[in-house]
Structures are given as structure tokens and as C-alpha cells.
Amino acid sequence: MFGIILLIIVLLIIMLVASCIKIVPQAQAYVVERLGAYQGTWGVGLHFKVPVIDKVAKRVLLKEQVADFPPQPVITKDNVTMRIDTVVFFQITDPKLFTYGVENPIMAIENLTATTLRNIIGDLELDETLTSRETINAKMRSSLDIATDPWGIKVNRVELKNIIPPAAIQDAMEKQMKAERERREAILRAEGERESTILVAEGKKKSAILEAEAEKQSAILRAEAQKEKMIREAEGEAEAIMKVQKATADGLKFIKEVGMDETVLKLKSLEAFEKAADGKATKIIIPSEIQNMAGVLASAKELLG
């Protein structure tokens, strides 16, 4: 019987010692209290606590956490009510402040996010709200980070997940977007037609310029050909004149060399007129000099007879 009791006592001691050994895993921290008062924060590793006196008050996760809050109703500066849901990325930097700073940190962050969002959206109009997400995110992150610092929480990022305007506003926005798309389509169509007209006009202009250039080149070629023809004709005429002049010069030279006098030349002229008289001409005009020469020849013939 005594052995059984001793065994039970040994088992209880072993269980008590085992309960006093704590291993803190990575990315976690344990807040330890001693007799109800804060005793310390255990980091990663093996730790021992005093039985019965010490206890682990809270296990704190040090990883970055995500809190997705449901849509909150907000009112813009131009009195448009919409619903916006946010996502907050935060991380616990001080386990002690996180444990004792606020009763329910997640609920506190949610309420703080809603009030901060209402304050920021209240200074913006509808169009600014829809187009200023980055500005709203930055303002909310800054405000939440300052407000949660006493709780040992660091807000890393805030994102507006959805912005849900009223149904009437959505219909009006869709109509506006449709009208804007139609306007842009009309502008693009008009610009396309204008570009097409310009291209056609430029094509006609270039075609006319090319035709004018071709006509100009053709006229130049025709003028050059005419000029070349005239030059060749002039050269031919000049060559013919030169040949005539050369033949005349050669004849004069021959006459001079054979010693022909004026009487011989006149006789030759008479022979030429005699041949001319044999033709079909009905009237022949004989120069006076040749007539005188004919008389002289007749007188000479009578004397010799």
C-alpha cells in the first residue's frame, strides 16, 4: 500500500515539474504573471516557472496578422451614404502592452478603423472618395498606427477593400460611364475620319505633285530633244554652207590656176544660156553684157567668112 502511495506521489511530482517546463515556439511570446502581477515576457526557447506561483497569462503571436472588417456606413462631404469595408495588416511589437493595454485589441482596432474612416471620408466628396484610395489608405494607416502604439500594435498597412455606393448612385455612375465611353467613341471615330480625310488629301496632293514633276521632266526632255534636233540641223546647215563655200573657193582657185579671163567666162555663160534656151522656157532674159558678147562674136564670124 505504501508503495502505491509513493508511486502516486512520484508521478504527481513528475507531472508538476513537467508543467513548469515551457517551450516558447518561434514567432510567439509568453506573458508570465507571478501571484497575479506581471513577472516578465518569455521569448523563443526553454523556460521554467515556479509551480503554483507563476502562470502564463497570455500567449502572443508576433507574426503579421490580417483583420478583415465588415463594411461600415460612411457619409461623404456631399451627403452621399456609402459602405466601405477595410482590411488592416498589423503586428504585435510589445506583448506586455498588448496584454494589458486594451481589453479586446481586435475589437478596439475595428472600432478605431470605423471612426477614422468616417472622419476621413467626411472631408471628401463622392468623386474624390472613389479616386483617392491611396490617399485614404495612407491617412488611415498613419492615424491607426499612432492610436494603437500604446497597445503594443504596429499597423503596417490599411486597404479599402470595397467601396459600395447606393444603388441610385451606381446607376448614375454606370450611365455616366456609358455616356463617357460613347463620347470617347465618337471622338475616336471623328478623329479617325479626320485622319483618313487628311491622308486622302495628302495622297492626292502627292499624286498631283508627282504628276507635275513628271510633266515637268517630260517637258524638259522634249525641250532638250528639240534643242538637240535644232543643234544637229544647224550643224548640218553649217556643214552644207561650209561645203558650198569650200566648193566655191575650189572653183575660184581652179579658174585662177587655168588662167581664164573675162571673155572665157562670158563664153561659158553663153553656153549655159544656150542650153537653157533648149528647154521649155518661153521667155529668157539675157543680161546686157552677154548681149554685147554675142554681137562681138557675130562680127568676128563675118570677118573670118
State the Cα–Cα distance between residues 86 and 55, nearest whole angstrom: 37
Asked if the model's pLDDT at residue 157 lies above 90, the reply is yes
- Topology classification of domain 64-165: Tetrahydropterin Synthase; Chain A (3.30.479)
Asked if the model's pLDDT at residue 301 lies above 50, the reply is no
185-224 residue pLDDT tens? 889 888 888 888 888 888 888 888 888 888 888 888 888 8
State the Cα–Cα distance between residues 106 and 65, nearest whole angstrom: 10
Burial class of residue 158 in the structure, from the number of CB atoms within 10 Å of its CB (0-12 exposed, 13-18 middle, 19+ buried): buried
State the Cα–Cα distance between residues 49 and 56, nearest whole angstrom: 9
State the Cα–Cα distance between residues 223 and 241, nearest whole angstrom: 26
Beta bridge mates, 162: 85
**In the prediction, which pLDDT does 52 show?**
82
**In the prediction, which pLDDT does 235 show?**
82
Asked if the model's pLDDT at residue 126 lies above 80, the reply is yes
Asked if the model's pLDDT at residue 58 lies above 50, the reply is yes
230-283 residue pLDDT tens? 888 888 887 878 877 787 777 667 666 655 555 555 555 555 555 555 555 455
**In the prediction, which pLDDT does 50 show?**
86
Q: Which of 2-11, 134-143, 160-169, 177-186 has the lowest mean pLDDT?
A: 2-11
Extract long-range pairs of 302-305: CB within 8 Å, 24+ residues apart: none
**In the prediction, which pLDDT does 66 show?**
94
CB-based contact 76:124 (threshold 8 Å): yes
Which residues fall within 8 angstroms of residue 78, CB to CB, at 6 or more apart? 125, 126
CB-based contact 91:64 (threshold 8 Å): yes
Burial class of residue 89 in the structure, from the number of CB atoms within 10 Å of its CB (0-12 exposed, 13-18 middle, 19+ buried): middle
pTM above the 0.95 mark? Answer: no
Phi, psi of 100 (to 5 degrees): -110, -5
Query: What's the mean pLDDT in 106-116?
Result: 92
Which residues fall within 8 angstroms of residue 154, CB to CB, at 6 or more apart? 90, 91, 92, 93, 145, 148
* 303 band by pLDDT with thresholds 50, 70 and 90: very low
Q: Which of 81, 84, 86 is nearest to 166 (CA)?
A: 81
Give me the helices (H) in the chain, please.
2-20, 95-100, 105-121, 126-131, 133-148, 167-258, 262-277, 288-304
User: How does DSSP classify residue 255?
Assistant: H
CB-based contact 267:293 (threshold 8 Å): yes
